[in-house]
Amino acid sequence: MDIPRIFNISESAHRIHNPFTPDKLATLGAALHLEAGSRVLDLASGSGEMLCTWARDHGITGTGVDLSRLFSEQARQRAEALGVAHQVNFIHADAAAYVSADKVDVAACLGATWIGGGVAGTIKLLAQSLRPGGIILIGEPYWRQLPATEDIAQACLAESIAEFLTLPALLASFSHLGYDVVEMVLANQDSWDRYEAAQWLTLRRWLDANPDDELAEEIRTRLATRPERYAAYIREYLGWGVFALMQR
């Protein structure tokens, strides 16, 4: 089992598979006042950058679960490189039903809330692994400005306007689920560029190396159209943030 190949290609050079830069990830880690030995669970952990750098910087221990074989392997290599392989563990598996045997202090899902069928379902899933008084981290897009039409929403790669909320509405939705929002760190347009624009060179290099691959035509089209679409829509309309939540 694996994720669609296109992501393993377009994000193969990414350490962070969401619109956060390393400094924003570090800001989030510092903002949570993590104590050494804190246990962190990361569902859809990607290439493991959050767990590995927080293990190095804050002495946490962690488990990451991800469906991409490539990203999970990159996460293990990153842990070795940062000298934290004894603190973190990466499992190649579907995170949709993953509940940890021992309760954790922080349970996170950054940029993959479809694993729980949306934000509410993912919070429920994470809560099953969390100790009382622990913190849930949700990384999720929101509308910086509401699209006037469904076509604009789809140009932002959303299924519909209703798929995302505005930032105030997203914060209110956490409250309605019975959670206090206790911290947040937001992406900005520059950090979005590091996620999106950083894929274009990867795509171009892959195309040069794999001109006859079955995905070559799709990737050629993507590279030719995506920068303009990104600048006109995604960059203007979509925000992204990580929200720290504690149950009331």
**What is the contact surface with ligand SAH in residues (CB under 6 A)?**
3, 16-18, 44-46, 49, 65-68, 71, 94-96, 110-112, 115
- DSSP-derived 3-state class of residue 5: helix
Minimum CB distance to ligand SAH smaller for 73 or for 236: 73
CA–CA dist 149, 90 (Å, integer): 41
Do residues 6 and 28 make contact, with C-beta atoms less than 8 angstroms apart? no
Minimum CB distance to ligand SAH smaller for 128 or for 175: 128
Minimum CB distance to ligand SAH smaller for 12 or for 220: 12
Minimum separation from the CB atom of position 247 to ligand SAH (A): 22
Residue 25: its H or E element? helix 22-31
| Residue nearest ligand SAH by beta-carbon distance | 46
Minimum separation from the CB atom of position 208 to ligand SAH (A): 25
Do residues 217 and 114 make contact, with C-beta atoms less than 8 angstroms apart? no
Minimum CB distance to ligand SAH smaller for 104 or for 176: 104
Minimum separation from the CB atom of position 54 to ligand SAH (A): 12
Minimum separation from the CB atom of position 169 to ligand SAH (A): 23
Do residues 9 and 215 make contact, with C-beta atoms less than 8 angstroms apart? yes
Max Cα–Cα distance, the chain, nearest Å: 55
Q: Quote the distance between the C-alpha of residue 211 and its chain's center.
A: 30
